[in-house]
Structure 1
Amino acid sequence: MLKSYIVIAFRNIRRNLSYAFLNVFGLTLGIAACLIIFLIVRNELGYDAYNSKANRTYRVTLHALDFNSNVSLAIIPAMRIDFPELEATTQVFFMRDGVVKVGDNRYSEKNYAFGDEQINKVFDYQWLAGDPNTALRQPNSVVLTETIAQKYFDKSNAMGQLINLDNDLNLKVTGVIKDLPGNTSMPLNFLVSLQTISKRLEGAMHFWAIPGGSYAYIVVPPNYSIRQLQKKMPGFVKKNFGNDIAKAAVMPLQPLKDIHFDQRYINNITTPTSRDTYWALIGVALLIIITACINFINLATAQAIRRSKEVGVRKVLGATRQQLIRQFMGETTVLVLISVILGVLLSAAFLAEAGKWMSITIDAGQLLQPVVIGWIASITLLVILLAGLYPSFIQSAFQPVDSLKNKVSVSAKGLTLRKGLVIAQFSISQILIVGTLIVAHQMDFFQNQDLGFSKEAVVSIGLPDVAKREVFEQQLESYPGVKEVSFSSGAPSYNSSFTSFSSPELGLTKDDVTEVKYIDEKYTDMFQLKMLAGQKIWKKNPKDTLHSIVINETMMQKLGFQDPQKAINKHVTLNGDQQSIIVGVMKDFQSESKHKKRRACVLEYNADRLFMAGIRMQPAGMNKTIGYIGKQWSKLFPDNLFRYEFIDEHIAAMYKQEQKVYTAFQLFSYIAILIGCLGLYGLIAFAASQRTKEVGIRKVLGASVYSIVNLFTREFIFLIGIAFLVAAPLGYYIMHTWLQNFAYHISIGPGIFIVAIAASAIIAAITIAYQAIKAALINPVKSLRNE
């Protein structure tokens, strides 16, 4: 019997190739899209899960005036004494970039760290060479990842080889590890022994000495109460660092698996993103598979009428309804299995490309993992049930007499369900269109709107030696392609220096936190910062004991002023003891991502801290200008590699996670809409098959092509309107919730919804047009002929 069902299924597919193609193509796209989304979300939600002790690993953080992921280097040594029961503790000093010299070759590398010998007990590194217990014990030791080892030494054995780091440290390779997975909160290309720089760090072993990039991790024993350990932390801080610090700061223990998703913290290595974002992608996958199943149901229902005589003959010959249901479910199963196989192959072919779009590491090998195979089996069963049950019951319910007399039609319940499916399909399309438009507007808002400074055609370049700053400046200003030059501790969108501030004069005795930017006298004009009152920063006389500062609006308000002019000449204490006078107030600018509210900021002149050059170039010939800058820079700093970054690229990097999600959302929304178009095509085919004779009669009575096309489209336009009433509030709620993840975001206006319904109507009209015009142009003789 089973063999008979399969044979019949393939015969029907062969006889109705267009019907089978639409079904299989829609389901294939849906399954491939869902599979790719599943792997993307699995990758993103699985951050740091590759570590076998991930559930017992915590990052020791600081919460004083901010949630700070960086802590003092003094924390881990003290915890090892006070909490000997901890399974492992490690201190990591992360560096974002450096220059490596191997023989005569130099390489610009990103993401390396200084780590102590216990780092291997916290993180799971797969060692290819070297002893994990001793590789980082001695000073001047380095452990390379496999890719870096091959890059430096090709096929030679890297063990025992020497490399130079930043023209300063001569390091010996003591180990090689496999490349880390892409979903790690601490991406590393190589590890240097922390002992290598221990003497340089001796002066930074008090609580408030917090170097950028200093992270602390602990692993607790199995069944250990992390709540009890957290309760002991205030006493730990008080004992080791004093009562005053214990009152001002707490040390939260952050689960390792939460690091990638906790957006409260500053100074993270990778940009955190909300878990809700990835659940939204799962929602898109669900909408895609529902849309594909709706298509299947609609097309199968349309096909049912054509097969009514077959059903009648089978019933006359004794077939029961259960047998017919099994037969039609068998045909559905064959089509779904074909779609699943093609969907898996399609996803395998595009996984690498999807990984590039999303900047993540996924490959076809993951499709063979048990979890993924189980998911594929589950989605296959779900699709078979969703797509097959209703058409099977409809087809098996035809009465033999009506079937053989060609009087079969779909019942009122069937029509109601069909219209409901159309509304659901249009609602899904409109929600996805609304979502795509809002995410696109928010991404544009991130990178281009309301920054508070000018970023166009500006590059940022680091200076290895500030003593050569004036010579470099003269060389740049003499070149016609350079428009403006300014030196600072960082452009407006770079934030690396924070300190405390208070003002006893104004009644603010409790310390608050502010960002500090050290700038020259050209900075304000070059970046077009808007002054609200007072003067800009000027060159400071080294003999001055009172520091002149410019503050932003946020700091002005924290000091209790609403009128910028009233803040001028007031005194502020920075960093505990630096007496400063406010000489100007500037408008707020965006120094961090828009996930967070703008913070207090101070501009100050300090010639010793101006180690970054900001260069605005003429728009024409920028590549030539960069070449000139690089040539002059290399002459001044021959032992260093020339590196630069466009400020707009730096700003874009702040929203890398959102850009990844937007890319995925955009891509899969298009796929869902395409699948919906296939369904619309099927619905028009259904309508045309139902009204063939009606169209013929109207043609005989003189109806025009336009009136017949209007006959088919009128109902769908009405259903689009109903779908909009469903989609608009749902789309608004979903996207409004998503926007709450950001301190600054766009407002959702009516224009987005107008575009959504207009786009739906246009897409529907284009999809409907072909089949409707085809029905209108058919010879009425053929329409009225009764076979």
Structure 2
Amino acid sequence: MLRNYVIITFRNIRRNLSYAFLNVFGLTLGIASCLVIFLIVRNELNYDDYSKADRIYRVTLNAIDFNSNVALAVAPAMRNDFPELEQVSQVMYSHEVMIKVNNNHFRENDFAFTDEHFPAIFNLRWISGDPKTALKEPNSIVITESIAKKYYGDKNPMGEIINLENEINVKVTGVIQDLPGNRSLPLKMFVSIETIKNQLKNQMSNFWNIGGGYFTFILLPQHYSIQRIQHKIPAFLHKNWNLDPKEVRLPLQPLKDIHFDQRYINNIVTPTSKDTYYALFGVALLIIITACINFINLATAQAIKRAKEVGVRKVLGAHRSQLVKQFMGETTVLILIALVLGVGIAATFLSQAGTWLNVKIDASELAQPLVIGVIAALTILVILLAGLYPAFVQSAYRPIDSLKNQTGTPSKGFTLRKGLVVAQFAISQILIVGTLVVAHQMDFFENQDLGFNKDAIISFYVPNNAKKDVLEHALSNNPDVKQIAFSSGAPSYNNNFAGFSAPDHGVIKDDVTEMKFVDENYINMFGLKMLAGQKVNKANPKDTVQNIVANETLIHKLSIMDPEKAVGQRIVLNGRPANIIGVVQDFQSESKHKKRRACVLMYYADAFFMANVKLQPRAMSNTIDDINKTWTALFPDNLFEYQFLDEHIASFYTQEQKVYTAFKLFSSIAILIGCLGLYGLISFAAAQRTREVGIRKVLGAPLISIVGLFSKEFILLISIAFFIAAPIGYYAMHNWLQNYAYHINIGVGTFLIAIAASFIIAAITISYQTIKAALVNPVNSLRNE
């Protein structure tokens, strides 16, 4: 009997090859997409998955903002006052460092100074070296396996000398395996903090001396409540720095929360809400549901063609349970074929999908027990979703009706099929709405309301301030260099903060402002809009009063609404008097996750370590080559590297770009699967109504009337789907937008585009088969009947 069922299964597949292909192809895409999305979501939700992760906490600061950075003074004080902690470690992270190995220069990212306690907290996988001693001595460096191969090939790097920034020589004392991509503290090399201990003396006691990338981590003993430490923090702050715990707090943030806590600034990897990944997982479910809907629709549509087979089997004594088993068996065969193909496609394109989505995932992950379990569960789910209903429909025909060709299409099945088509179009429209909203928000992130000009501007490091004038003169002689400005950073770089007060305006206690050290050309080059007063001018280092240009947010904190009235007012900035000589319109100095903050611009030549150059739009690559030659001639021992300002701004939204790419990719797949099912239904309907079409043509029906015959039902179904999808899509995307301080508003146009796209997609899918059916010679249609 089983052998007979298998033979019949493959005979039916061969007889209905086109429908089998549509079903298998749709399920294949659905399964492959689900597996890829599952691995992506698992990768993101498993951020910082260290073995001791449940006991690791990051010490953070909450005064004005939630700041992920704290002063270097915190770690030694915590070691002294909290002896119960298993480990306390501090990290000075730097995005870039210049490396010199055997006269070869490299610019590497993800570099840090760490203390000897760091390896004991994070379970790094050591290839060479002793984790207990590798960072104990000054001038020690631990590098990853990929860096070791890059610098030394197959040679053992232990004991080799590496030069940092042409200043410090360090010895390789350890090699670790590369860290996975899902780490909030990505590191490729770290040096013993003892190496620069003398330079840090002044920072080891000042609580407010907070540099970018200054992180502190603690490791709790096993079975020790974090609340016992958190309750002692107020007394700790008061004892060591006489701080009021009502105004300053040190929240202890669980390591596993770092990647998803969007309150914090100055993270290395921009946090993303977990809801984003739950939404992506929801897309996976929608895709597999769409594929199952296709299967159900096509299977029930073909049930009519197998009615006689069912009738004959029942007359010969077959029970309904046997027929259900037969049809479920056929479904299982098709799904297993789709499963094998889907896993193969996922394995083949996983690395490419990871590249598109900026996620490190590998095909070997498909062989992990958890993933195999998910594949098995997914297979069973698809078999049940796609197979049960068609099996019961096909086995339900009465023998007498089947043999008389009086089965028609069961009314219940017909009604359900309409409902499934509505669900399919509703899913497509929800995904279209989601993709459009994410696309508009991404455009808003990068191109709108920045408050400064970012086009054709590059920024690069100036290692020697004394040669700044020579560099400026050389670049000014290049006709393809439009403007030059020196500063501590472009408008979108925020790495200097200071406390300020203004007793005359009610700001008695220190607030926080961003500081940008800029030259006299900065405001003009970036197109910052002056609202009152004068721009930044060259300052005399001997001046006791600092001249500053304040932004709108800062003067509003002084309760001054009119920019003209702010000119001439004084504040205390970093303990020194500062005179407001001008007011500039607010501009975006960080991502739109956060609201714009107070900012001052001031002239301070010693901090001009970055050159900003606006290029003529013609032949920019040649101009950059010329700048490289000029720069290299002045700084031969350094490596020239630059970044376009718009690329830097785009880096704020790496996580959102992942979501946008995923939405585009998987929404397109879901829509394609839906189109396959719709194409199959129309093909079947056209075949079933060949005689009707022939009669209509004989009676003079035009082509447009025949096309409308097939289309009108789907137009109604698409309209119903829209009224279901619109409120769901709006609710979901409105909640997603609330993660950002600045965001778009969802307009009516988004939904009009969604329903228009649905009509266009349906029209394209339907048109081929309907026009083909309408063009058939009615004589042939009626003769065949």
- TM-score clears 0.5: yes
- The answer for the alignment partner of 2:545 in structure 1 is 546
Q: How does 1:429-508 map to 2 (within 5 A)?
A: 429-508=428-507
1:612 matched to 2:641:
no
CA distance in structure 2 between the partners assigned to 1:448 and 1:88 by the alignment: 45
Q: Secondary structure at the match of 1:616?
A: strand
- Deviation of 1:786 after TM superposition, in Å, equals 7.4
Higher alpha-carbon deviation: 231-240 or 284-293 = 231-240
Match of 1:598 among 596, 599, 622: 596
Match of 1:674 among 662, 672, 675: 672
In structure 1, what residue type is equivalent to 2:660?
Y
- The answer for the alignment partner of 2:39 in structure 1 is 39
1:581 matched to 2:575:
no
- The answer for the alignment partner of 2:647 in structure 1 is 649
- The answer for the alignment partner of 1:6 in structure 2 is 6
- The answer for the alignment partner of 1:137 in structure 2 is 136
In structure 2, what residue type is equivalent to 1:215?
F
- The answer for the alignment partner of 2:521 in structure 1 is 522
How many residues align? The count is 784
1:427 matched to 2:426:
yes
- Deviation of 1:689 after TM superposition, in Å, equals 3.9
CA distance in structure 2 between the partners assigned to 1:310 and 1:4 by the alignment: 14
- Deviation of 1:585 after TM superposition, in Å, equals 1.0
Q: How does 1:40-439 map to 2 (within 5 A)?
A: 40-49=40-49, 51-206=50-205, 207-242=207-242, 244=243, 246-439=245-438
Q: Secondary structure at the match of 2:365?
A: helix
- The answer for the alignment partner of 1:727 in structure 2 is 725
CA distance in structure 2 between the partners assigned to 1:412 and 1:452 by the alignment: 62
Q: Secondary structure at the match of 2:232?
A: helix
Deviations along 1:6-47, one digit per CA (max 9) or x if unpaired, are 332122112111111000000000000111000011111110
CA distance in structure 1 between the partners assigned to 2:534 and 2:300 by the alignment: 76
- Deviation of 1:69 after TM superposition, in Å, equals 0.9
- Per the normalisation by structure 1, the TM-score is 0.98
In structure 1, what residue type is equivalent to 2:751?
F
CA distance in structure 2 between the partners assigned to 1:254 and 1:356 by the alignment: 31
- Deviation of 1:702 after TM superposition, in Å, equals 2.2
CA distance in structure 1 between the partners assigned to 2:467 and 2:390 by the alignment: 79
Q: Secondary structure at the match of 2:348?
A: helix
- Deviation of 1:490 after TM superposition, in Å, equals 0.7
- Decide whether aligned partners of structure 1 residues 752 and 247 sit closer, same or farther in structure 2, where only a CA change above 3 A counts: closer
- Deviation of 1:782 after TM superposition, in Å, equals 4.9
- Deviation of 1:688 after TM superposition, in Å, equals 2.4
In structure 2, what residue type is equivalent to 1:97?
E
- Deviation of 1:128 after TM superposition, in Å, equals 0.7
- Deviation of 1:779 after TM superposition, in Å, equals 3.9
- Deviation of 1:213 after TM superposition, in Å, equals 1.3
Maintained 8 Å contact 1:301/1:686: no
Maintained 8 Å contact 1:144/1:175: yes
- Decide whether aligned partners of structure 1 residues 90 and 542 sit closer, same or farther in structure 2, where only a CA change above 3 A counts: closer
- The answer for the alignment partner of 1:683 in structure 2 is 681
Q: Secondary structure at the match of 2:418?
A: helix
Deviations along 1:100-150, one digit per CA (max 9) or x if unpaired, are 111121111111111111111111111111111111111111111000001
Q: Secondary structure at the match of 2:237?
A: helix
1:637 matched to 2:638:
no
CA distance in structure 2 between the partners assigned to 1:555 and 1:284 by the alignment: 43
CA distance in structure 2 between the partners assigned to 1:210 and 1:550 by the alignment: 23
Deviations along 1:502-538, one digit per CA (max 9) or x if unpaired, are 1111122122111110111111110000011111111
CA distance in structure 2 between the partners assigned to 1:102 and 1:194 by the alignment: 21
- Deviation of 1:592 after TM superposition, in Å, equals 0.5
Maintained 8 Å contact 1:302/1:685: no
CA distance in structure 1 between the partners assigned to 2:382 and 2:58 by the alignment: 43
Deviations along 1:374-427, one digit per CA (max 9) or x if unpaired, are 111111111111101111111001111111111221222222211111111111
Q: How does 1:732-751 map to 2 (within 5 A)?
A: 732-751=730-749
Maintained 8 Å contact 1:549/1:583: yes
- Deviation of 1:247 after TM superposition, in Å, equals 4.5
- Deviation of 1:751 after TM superposition, in Å, equals 1.1
Deviations along 1:548-572, one digit per CA (max 9) or x if unpaired, are 1111111121110221111111111
CA distance in structure 2 between the partners assigned to 1:268 and 1:159 by the alignment: 32
- Deviation of 1:710 after TM superposition, in Å, equals 0.9
CA distance in structure 2 between the partners assigned to 1:121 and 1:483 by the alignment: 52
- Deviation of 1:784 after TM superposition, in Å, equals 3.8
Maintained 8 Å contact 1:302/1:682: no
Q: Secondary structure at the match of 1:248?
A: coil
CA distance in structure 2 between the partners assigned to 1:763 and 1:171 by the alignment: 62
CA distance in structure 2 between the partners assigned to 1:786 and 1:520 by the alignment: 86
Q: Secondary structure at the match of 1:307?
A: helix
- Deviation of 1:644 after TM superposition, in Å, equals 0.7
CA distance in structure 2 between the partners assigned to 1:247 and 1:396 by the alignment: 73
- The answer for the alignment partner of 2:23 in structure 1 is 23
Deviations along 1:78-113, one digit per CA (max 9) or x if unpaired, are 212222222222111111111111112111111111
Deviations along 1:37-67, one digit per CA (max 9) or x if unpaired, are 0001111111011x10011111011111111
Q: Secondary structure at the match of 2:185?
A: coil
- Decide whether aligned partners of structure 1 residues 609 and 245 sit closer, same or farther in structure 2, where only a CA change above 3 A counts: farther
Using the aligned pairs only, state the percent identity.
65
CA distance in structure 2 between the partners assigned to 1:71 and 1:347 by the alignment: 43
- Deviation of 1:241 after TM superposition, in Å, equals 2.0
1:764 matched to 2:768:
no
- Deviation of 1:634 after TM superposition, in Å, equals 1.0
CA distance in structure 2 between the partners assigned to 1:710 and 1:607 by the alignment: 74
In structure 1, what residue type is equivalent to 2:610?
M
- Deviation of 1:245 after TM superposition, in Å, equals 5.0
In structure 1, what residue type is equivalent to 2:277?
Y
- Deviation of 1:225 after TM superposition, in Å, equals 0.8
Over aligned residues, Cα RMSD in angstroms? 1.3
1:755 matched to 2:753:
yes
CA distance in structure 1 between the partners assigned to 2:363 and 2:392 by the alignment: 38
Q: Which runs of 4+ in 1 moved over 6 A?
A: none
CA distance in structure 2 between the partners assigned to 1:692 and 1:227 by the alignment: 75
- Deviation of 1:781 after TM superposition, in Å, equals 4.5
Structure 2 gaps, min length 5? none
- Deviation of 1:472 after TM superposition, in Å, equals 0.8
CA distance in structure 2 between the partners assigned to 1:306 and 1:448 by the alignment: 57
In structure 2, what residue type is equivalent to 1:347?
A
Maintained 8 Å contact 1:302/1:689: no
In structure 1, what residue type is equivalent to 2:241?
F
- Deviation of 1:598 after TM superposition, in Å, equals 0.6
Q: Secondary structure at the match of 1:174?
A: strand
CA distance in structure 2 between the partners assigned to 1:2 and 1:562 by the alignment: 84
Maintained 8 Å contact 1:435/1:735: yes
In structure 2, what residue type is equivalent to 1:268?
N
- Deviation of 1:246 after TM superposition, in Å, equals 3.8
Q: Secondary structure at the match of 1:533?
A: strand
- Per the normalisation by structure 2, the TM-score is 0.98
Q: Secondary structure at the match of 2:166?
A: coil
Structure 1 gaps, min length 5? none
- Deviation of 1:670 after TM superposition, in Å, equals 0.3
Higher alpha-carbon deviation: 694-703 or 90-99 = 694-703
